[in-house]
Amino acid sequence: MWIGYIFIDLRSQSLLRRSRMKRIQISEIEDGMRELIVEGTVVEKGEPKTVQTRYGPAQLAYAIIDDGTGQIKLNLWRKQIDLVKVGARIRVENAFAKEFRGQVELNVGSNGRIVVLDKSGPST
């Protein structure tokens, strides 16, 4: 006879989701890839602009990140714009790659996030 305990971890869904994510180098990224983890240094950042979305106007900017194997454009929305600085090392979790105007770009998924690993960029 087994007498034991069953533990339910309400965080397990997010842990499972994170465990399915794949760490990848920029040079390996292709259109359509999902659930990616990408680390790199921000080498360029564009000025924010206002764009129309189906939910109304929103701020959009881009950053170019480099991991030593290549560079990719990362789209930044709303609060992400202020989080990312040129020179900072970042990790993008739950990213997906999508081709836009002939170029593969990186986007943050709905349950994704950008983590600043090293803020060595210039302070503004």
Determine how β-strand 36-45 pairs with β-strand 89-100. antiparallel
For 32-84, write each residue's pLDDT tens digit: 999 999 999 999 999 999 999 999 999 999 999 999 999 999 999 999 999 99
State the CATH architecture for 33-118: Beta Barrel (2.40)
Phi-psi region of 64 (alpha: psi -120 to 50; beta: other; left: phi over 0): beta
What residue segments make up the domains of the chain, in order of their start?
33-118
Contacts (Cβ under 8 Å, ≥6 apart) of 73: 62, 63, 64, 103, 105, 106
pLDDT at 24 over 50: yes
Q: Do 118 and 88 contact (CB within 8 A), yes or no?
A: yes
Q: Which two tokens stand for residue 111?
A: 């349950």
Confidence of residue 96 (pLDDT cuts 50, 70, 90): very high
Tokens 């990362």, residue?
A: 74
Provide the mean pLDDT of the chain: 87
pTM: 0.79
From the list 109, 91, 86, the residue with the least C-alpha distance to 26 is 91
